[in-house]
Structure formats: C-alpha cells, structure tokens
Amino acid sequence: MISGILIICLLILFSAFFSFSELSLAASSSNKLKILSENGNAKATKALEFQKNPGLYFTVVQIGLNAVAILGGIVGDKFLSPSLTALFANYVGLIAAERISFVLSFALVTVAFILFADLLPKRFCMLKPETVLLNVVKLMSVIISLLRPFLILFDWAAKVILKMFGVSLENKNTITIEDIGEMIKSGASAGILCKEEQALIQNVFDFESKSITSVMTQRENIIWFDLHESYTDIKERIAKNPHSKFIVSNSTIDNLVGYVDSKIILSKYLDNAEISISKDIEINDVILVPDTLKMLELLGLFKKNRQDFAVIINEYGLVVGLVTLKDIMMAVMGDLVHEDKKKAMMLSDNNAWIVSGRTSIHEVIRTLDIRETPEIELYETMSGFMMYMLQKVPATNDKILFDGWEFIILSVENNIIDKLKATRIDGAKV
C-alpha cells in the first residue's frame, strides 16, 4: 500500500506540472514576456513562440493530463483496493469490503488529484503566471521535441475537426479601448492607481474623440483688438487682460486680420512711443480651424505651425471661439495643472454635485456612474446635454431627470449654462 501511495504522489506531481504548464501559458501577459525577451531572456522568447503557436504545447499538456489520470485510476485500483479490502473484510464480509474499498480508493485518488494536481497548482499559477511559465517552458520544450511525431498527428486531427465545424484557427490577441478601460478600473479598485491617475489616463483615451469646442474660450469671452484701436484703449485692455497674444480684427471679430504679441506692444510702451496697431506693430498670421476638429488633430497643427493657439470658425466663416495649447493640456491634466482652478465638479453633500456647464459629458458619465447619454455625438459638454434634453434655450431652475439623477440649472450666462446641480434622487450616497 505504501508503494502505491508513493506512485500516486508521483503521478500527482506530474499532473500538477501539466496543470502549471497549461494555465501559465494561457494567463501570461505577452507584453511582459516581450519585455523579458527584449532583455535577453531566452525562456521568455520560447514562451512567446508557444503563445503564438500553442497547438503542440496544449496537445502535450492534454496527453500528459489524461495519461496521468488513467494511470492514477489503475494504480489506485491495484494498490489501494486490496489493502482496503483486507482492512474492511474483517468487519463487513469480503464482497461488501471489495465494493467499499473500490469506492473509497476511487474517491481518495480523485480528491487527491483534484486538490493537489488541479486546484492548488492553478490557484498558485494565477498569482504569478509569467514566473511559473518561465520555470516550466524548458522542460515542456524537451517533452515536445521527444513526442513531436505523435503531437503533430494529434494536432493535425484537432485542426481538421475544428475546420469541419467552421472554427477559425487564427489567434487574434487584440486589445480594445474597452479592455484597457476595464484594466484601469480594476487597477483603481485594487489601489494600484489613485483617482487622479485614473482620471488622467481616462482623459488621454478621450483625447482623440473630444472636439476642440469643448475646451475653447467662447466668442463672447474673447479679448481682441480692433485694427484701428486707440493707444489708450490698447493699454487699458492689456492691463485688464494680461494675455501674451491678442487677435486683431477689422471692425468686427469675424473680419480677422491676425494676432499681435503683447510683449512687442509693452516694449513700445516702455519706450513711451504712441503706437498704432495698423502701422507700428507686426501682425502675424493666425491659425484658423473648423469647429469640427478634434483636439488630437489640433495638437498636430500646433506642432506643424509652431503655434500655441488657434481661432475656431464655423461653416459660415464666423468666429465661434479660441483655443490654446494650455486649454488642451488642461483637458488632459485637469486640476493637476492648477490646483487653485475652480473644479469642474464639486461634491456638495452626500447626494449632490455642483457641475460647471463646460464640464465634459464624458467626465460626468464617469463620475456619476450613469449610462451613456442619448445622441452623445451631438454635444461635448454638460451644457450641451442639458440643451439637448430641454430642447430649448436653458434658463435658471430648468431641470430634467435622467438615470436616477435630477439635474437643475443654477445659473446661466449669455444663454449658456454656467452651473447646475446634480442630485441623486434614489437617496443613495455618491
């Protein structure tokens, strides 16, 4: 009986090895293995080859697991059953003892294999799959080399059967934005990422799809110079609005001429020179971009033209806003850029948020954990969402209900929502 137990223990070790080999290859990150391979790890290189073409690898695993399981049953019946029969025969008779010993030996071997050859190895393997794979891949390579003719035959038969059922044999190991998003959420839940890091990464993913109108300075808030502006007005305008650049137009903002650098104007001022924009100041060409442009596309234009701001026009050639490189960086970095900047969303109590009308609708969806808003491609901000839902020009105290939240407008400026309040109406804490 002791020799039978030793043989079963040895078979369990073999089975555990194949369990380690199977799950480690499936669970290992190809990106981590690539990094190790690029650093000269030959085992990682071999593991990557098996991941790309796992047919022979999994064939040898299945042969090993099934062969060991069958041997375990034979050993258990041959070595354990007689000893158990002799033990129970003294109490219940020979026939009953044989039946009991058969059932008991089968149960003991089965439980031992399930626990020590399957569950425990796989639980351990899930903790560090890459480490396990690098420890078993060399021996698996040797086994595959020794059994290659048989493995090729089994692998060919499996492929033929799969093709008969129309199953594709191509390994499409693609990663989508949704997969990465779930990884980010999991990392935040596990404490690997803090809230600021999670928001930063999410903003980067939203960067390509966000329109420049979501971060622009709106038309009515643009500070600009008239081509024939008086010297006194120029000084006062710069004193009140200390920007580095100002756009210049002729009579109306839509008749754009270009832009001037405030440093040049100030240097003239320090020389006590009475200046005229049209005569004494160099007017530079300004970048004009359509309001349909995405932020990533604008960033490319900034890089190409070596500029840090652009004027946004609509399909009718009218100025709708102005956007700077700083606006784009703020969209990515948020409150990490300027801690004293007023936050787009502030928690006012356990069930409510104060939200700026210019807050990205994607940020609101993430923060409030609500479902995607209808026709989301038609607007960029919370103000746009409210106007879409209300189907009218917004006014103070207008409100809507959406996905368990009440949104009520607190203030409006120039027909654009400045602030609104989002309250959880089911009473759950946010």
- Judge whether residue 407 has pLDDT over 90: yes
| Element at 424 (helix H, strand E) | strand 416-424
Q: How confident is the model at residue 401 (pLDDT cuts 50, 70, 90)?
A: very high
Could you read off the pLDDT of 221-247 as tens digits, one per residue? 899 999 888 888 888 888 888 888 999
Burial of 319 (0-12, 13-18, 19+ CB in 10 A): buried
Residue 185 structure tokens: 């959420």
Q: How confident is the model at residue 275 (pLDDT cuts 50, 70, 90)?
A: confident
Could you read off the pLDDT of 68-87 as tens digits, one per residue? 888 887 877 777 777 777 77
Tell me which of 427 and 15 has the higher pLDDT.
15
Could you read off the pLDDT of 168-226 as tens digits, one per residue? 666 555 666 666 777 777 777 767 777 667 777 777 777 777 788 888 888 888 999 99
Percent of the chain with pLDDT over 70: 92
Residue-range domain boundaries for the chain: 2-164, 177-206, 212-332, 342-424
How far apart are the C-alpha atoms of 34 and 48, rounded to whole Å? Answer: 7
The CATH architecture of the domain made up of 212-332 is: Roll (3.10)
The CATH architecture of the domain made up of 342-424 is: 2-Layer Sandwich (3.30)
pLDDT value for 339: 42
Question: pTM of whole model > 0.85?
Answer: no
Tell me which of 53 and 209 has the higher pLDDT.
53
CB atoms within 10 A of CB 78: 12
Could you read off the pLDDT of 333-358 as tens digits, one per residue? 765 544 444 567 888 776 789 998 88
CB atoms within 10 A of CB 27: 16
Residue 314 structure tokens: 């609509």
Beta carbons of 57 and 171 less than 8 angstroms apart:
no
pLDDT value for 338: 46
CB atoms within 10 A of CB 95: 10
Is residue 193 helix, strand or coil?
A: coil
pLDDT value for 341: 43
How far apart are the C-alpha atoms of 176 and 170, rounded to whole Å? Answer: 18
Burial of 186 (0-12, 13-18, 19+ CB in 10 A): exposed
**Sheet of strand 399-402, all strands in order from the earlier edge strand to the far edge:** 345-349, 352-356, 416-424, 405-413, 399-402
pLDDT value for 212: 87
How far apart are the C-alpha atoms of 28 and 223, rounded to whole Å? Answer: 56
Tell me which of 420 and 425 has the higher pLDDT.
420
Q: How confident is the model at residue 262 (pLDDT cuts 50, 70, 90)?
A: confident
DSSP state of 186: H
- Judge whether residue 268 has pLDDT over 80: no
Which amino acid does the sequence have at 47?
A
How far apart are the C-alpha atoms of 47 and 53, rounded to whole Å? Answer: 10
| Element at 245 (helix H, strand E) | strand 245-249
The predicted model gives 34-60 an average pLDDT of 89
pLDDT value for 272: 67
Beta carbons of 311 and 287 less than 8 angstroms apart:
yes
Q: How confident is the model at residue 370 (pLDDT cuts 50, 70, 90)?
A: confident
Q: How confident is the model at residue 430 (pLDDT cuts 50, 70, 90)?
A: very low
| Element at 63 (helix H, strand E) | helix 55-75
Q: How confident is the model at residue 428 (pLDDT cuts 50, 70, 90)?
A: very low
Q: How confident is the model at residue 98 (pLDDT cuts 50, 70, 90)?
A: confident
pLDDT value for 412: 92
| Adjacent-strand bridge partners of 322 | 217, 311
Please give the mean pLDDT across all residues of the chain. 83
